[in-house]
Amino acid sequence: MLPELMLLGFTAWTLMLLLTTVGAYRLSRVFRGRAGMGDFRADRVEGQDWYVRAMRAHANCLENLPVFAILVYALRAFGIVDHAVDALCVVILAARIPQSLVHVCFAQTDRVVSLRFTLFFVQFLSFFLLIAWIAFHH
């Protein structure tokens, strides 16, 4: 049940990130009369630097959410339940949230990008370990 809860947490984080960054920015600009609802084009991201990073952080969550979902589905489809699997799923969410925050909240210096990459790599490695676990324990 823990992998499903971590997947739900990942989904909730993705939506919360959208609401509190991109959504808040756009709605505040519309309500203050600084932009129209149709002014936010998908093919040309414009705005403050943190807003552009927030768009990318949200997109990155969306890119990884289906990967995590398929892995959780495969775990259940093969009936795999293990504390190591639970731990990997916790690690994925525990690295995703700070990765997004580092992406949005800080100017992207070499040090910040290195931290962000490390957090991404932890997730990436966890995904591959789950794939290996599924492949060898089904």
Is the pLDDT reported for residue 34 higher than 90?
no
- Write down the domain spans for the chain: 2-137
pTM value is: 0.91
Q: Supply the pLDDT for residue 138.
A: 79
Distances (CA, A) of 99 to 39, 71, 120, 134: 29, 20, 7, 26
Angle at 29 between CA 27 and CA 31, to 5 degrees: 65
Is the pLDDT reported for residue 28 higher than 90?
no
Domain range 2-137, CATH class:
mainly alpha
Confidence of residue 36 (pLDDT cuts 50, 70, 90): confident
